[in-house]
Amino acid sequence: MGSNPIPSASPAAPLHEPMPPTTFQPPQPLPLLGRAPEPAPGAEAPAYFVWTVGCQMNTADSERLSAALDGAGLRQARRPQEADVVVLNSCVVRQNAEDKVVGMLTSLKPWREARPGRTLALMGCMVGPKKDGLRRTYPYVDAFMQPQDFQPLIDLLGERLGIDAEGCVGPFVPGNPSVTTHVPIIHGCDKFCTFCIIPYRRGREVSRPVDELVRECAMLAARGVKEVTLLGQNVDSYGHDLPGAPDLADLLEAVHDGVPELARIRFLTSHPNDMSDRIIGAVARLPRVMENVNLPFQAGNDEVLARMKRGYTNAGYRALVARIRENVPGVAMVTDLIVGFPGETEAQFEDTLAMVRDLRFDKVHAAAYSTRPNTYAQRRYDDDVRADEKRRRLKAIEAAQEVILAEANAALVGSTQEVLADGRKNGRWQGRTRTGKLVSFDVGGAEPQGGLLGQLVSVCITAASPWSLQGAA
């Protein structure tokens, strides 16, 4: 789960200082897996299916694994039952996500055991460094892979399908990506918030080099991508472990200037402690970096924040949001929060509710606390807020946010918004504004040859709900 504390409210340094130049090399092919032998005449290539639950990082991992399997000569199946290889990409940040994975694993046991040649793999945050417990619980699973570690499955398929895979696994780029896609830039997290299991499953922070990321974004743009989202559990800490310590501002500038074919650049998830003035300045200065900041605050009460080990205060977070809004006009602020953290009283919850009402976020991802095994909170605190009370607090947050969004979106009716068309649904085009609001729209007259997919479209907003906008181009 995203996180991060905030700089002090002391006067900000200039937000427009020049950033050091970065080098850029032309796109080069990234390594691919050795292909499987051609199937016999009339026989189809083996099929795979990747099932994903959880965060955008999991989505990006699944896209890259799919690229590896495509490169190996496998084909995608429409359903797991039609596949020869099924991979479940798991999430355990909350109990309901873990329950979904367990349910899917259980449902696939008959499929796996019906034919010996089938392969079932589990990857993602459910797989920790120690796998013996998983092997005992799920003996019918063939491979267990920690996040970003595709090698166990690649090795297994190499044996079963005759693929020469040694030394061939690299930072795979999706071969047929959608108009918008995700690019992981830093893996792991060093924050160790007391509620969070991510550092124990994804490990410590490891950044990818700037040139490699620019090259990957250029390859994606050449394959039709118009918008990339630069991803990290704590994206603002990017680069501290690289030679020369480039930061996220440097990377944003490198991608912005090095890949002009991209129409939009986003990033998430930020942490208040690492949201620097340089990063704010990059968002303000670079026209193709979107005015959208995902900045989790998690709790509005200082005592709860201290028990979470978040490293900032209510006042500090508010000061940071004010500084971002002052320097980036029209910025959309998105946040994550937890209700019912151990020991949270009704008065402490009211501080969280006040934060939502006062700061009027453009989106709030709210969740009830669920105990995660082996975290500090699980070891030290009793989960003493009743389940029904957590649900009540969650509904109070959702009700307050619905009122805020209804008012904010209603104010956009009659305005013209730039929308990146990323698909059609129910006969209408849809896409998102620069600030990330979902828009469904009709097109008057004939569409351009090839349609609007991937185009920036000026849309007049004609109606609004708390969750989306309607319009006409």
Q: β-pairing, 206-207 with 180-187? A: antiparallel
Burial class (CB in 10 A: 0-12, 13-18, 19+), 210: buried
| Burial annotation 53-64 (CB, 10 A radius, 16+ → b, else e) | bbbebbbbbbbb
Q: For residue 342, which amino acid is it?
A: P
The DSSP letter of residue 274 is G
CA nearest 265: which of 248, 298, 244, 290?
Answer: 290
pLDDT of residue 39: 53
**Model confidence, pTM:** 0.82
Residue 39: how many other CB atoms lie within 10 Å:
12
Give the whole-number percent of the chain exceeding pLDDT 90: 72
CATH superfamily of 47-161: Methylthiotransferase, N-terminal domain (3.40.50.12160)
DSSP track, 100-142: HHHHHHHHHHHHHHH-TT-EEEEEETT--S--HHHHHH-TT--
Backbone angles phi, psi at 334, to 5 degrees: -120, 145
Round to whole Å and give the CA distance between 133 and 135.
5
Which whole-number Å values give the CA distances from 95 to 56, 102, 126, 253, 268, in the listed order? Answer: 18, 10, 11, 38, 23
Structure confidence at residue 166 (pLDDT): 57
Q: Is 4 exposed, middle or buried (0-12, 13-18, 19+ CB in 10 A)?
A: buried
Q: Given its phi and psi angles, is residue 140 left (phi above 0), alpha (psi -120 to 50 degrees) or beta?
A: alpha
Query: Which CATH code is given to the segment(s) 180-409?
Result: 3.80.30.20
One-letter amino acid identity for 325?
A: R
Query: CB under 8 Å to 308, separation ≥6 — which residues?
Result: 193, 194, 195, 298, 299, 338, 341, 377
Alpha-carbon gap, residue 366 to 368, rounded angstroms: 7
What is the torsional sign of CA 294, 297, 300, 302? negative
CATH number of 416-472: 2.40.50
- Which structure tokens are listed for 412? 């956009």
Instruction: Judge whether 237 and 205 are in contact, CB under 8 Å.
Output: yes
Cis geometry, peptide bond prior to residue 462 (ω within 30 degrees of 0)? no
The pLDDT of residue 72? 80
Q: What pLDDT, on the 0 to 100 scale, is given for residue 175?
A: 72
List the structure tokens of 91. Answer: 């999430």
pLDDT tens track for 284-326: 999 999 999 999 999 999 999 999 999 999 999 999 999 999 9
CA dist., res. 67 & res. 61, Å (int): 10
Q: Where are the domains of the chain?
A: 47-161, 180-409, 416-472
**CA-CA-CA-CA dihedral for 172, 54, 180, 420, to nearest 10:** -170
Task: Collect the ranges in the chain with pLDDT lower than 50.
Answer: 1-37, 40, 167-170
Nearest alpha carbon to residue 197 among 371, 390, 394, 335? 371
Cβ atoms of 60 and 98 within 8 Å: the answer is no
